[in-house]
Amino acid sequence: MTRLFLFLATNIAVIALISITFQILGIEGLLAQNGVDMNMQALLVMSAVIGFGGSFISLAMSKWSAKRAMGVHIIENPTHPQEKWLVDTVASQAETAGIGMPEVGIFQSDVVNAFATGMSRNNSLVAVSTGLLQQMTADEAEAVLGHEVAHVANGDMVTMGLIQGVVNTFVIFLSRIVGFFVDRVILKNERGLGIGYFITSILAQIVLSIFATMIVMWFSRQREFRADEGGASLAGKQKMIDALKRLQGDQAEDLPGEFAAFGINGGKPTGIKALFMSHPPLEERIAALERS
């Protein structure tokens, strides 16, 4: 709760700083001189409502979406030893990590992968692929489960939702500013919002969203290192290293959409694509664990 409060307080301070900076630099005055009747504070509030609203709605629906998008079968009453082992392992790790018992599920995929999602530390889902259960040893699978439980314990779902909300706010706010500036200052439009505003703000939002995605994915990659450390703590360092090495031979791609950031395997990034990957290269993750 303290971390959540500090994160929100920091974001509010940053937004306030932007507003003050625009005033000091005289941007509001320049726009006003050119007939722009724009309320910067109102625009900031609107941007934050849209930016954080979309992010938190997505977070609130994450478990529901995951179950349907990935076809996750929730294990309510284990019907065979493998399911019982999964539930018991997650229960033991969750207790050690000090979180509520997550829902445990399996989704059909030949690819070795797993993910965690949910609204909070005590309302989460941990799911593994059938490919993971078929191709990994019990020790490797235990480490993967530890990695996912660590994501939950670290509050990564909420943290990533907040980061996404912040960058969404900046994208919306700055793209509107660019649109107003082009429409009124450059094109000298004096009647409402002209076509220049709409076209420019849309283009600016697209460009800014690309940079925003790079920022969010950078944070996601840092969370993976922490989750690896958590998995090593819960299951054992060598087990976590062995699990990551097993993934090196797999050709997995990112999980779809919002689930990619919380999977165990994010594919193999190359070139410019690496800036948009939710996971660091496996060799870097293995090296980080070996150094710890």
Torsion of CA 187, 192, 197, 198, to 10 degrees: -140
Catalytic, 190? Answer no
pLDDT on residue 292: 82
Contact yes or no for 123/269 (Cβ under 8 A): no
Q: Kindly name the residue from 140, 142, 148, 229 that is annotated as catalytic.
A: 148
pTM for the whole structure: 0.78
Q: Mean pLDDT, consecutive 10-residue segments, the chain of 292 residues?
A: 47 57 60 61 79 80 85 90 94 95 92 88 92 93 96 89 87 87 80 80 89 88 93 94 85 50 55 78 92 86
- CA atoms lying within 13 Å on the CB side of residue 167: 19
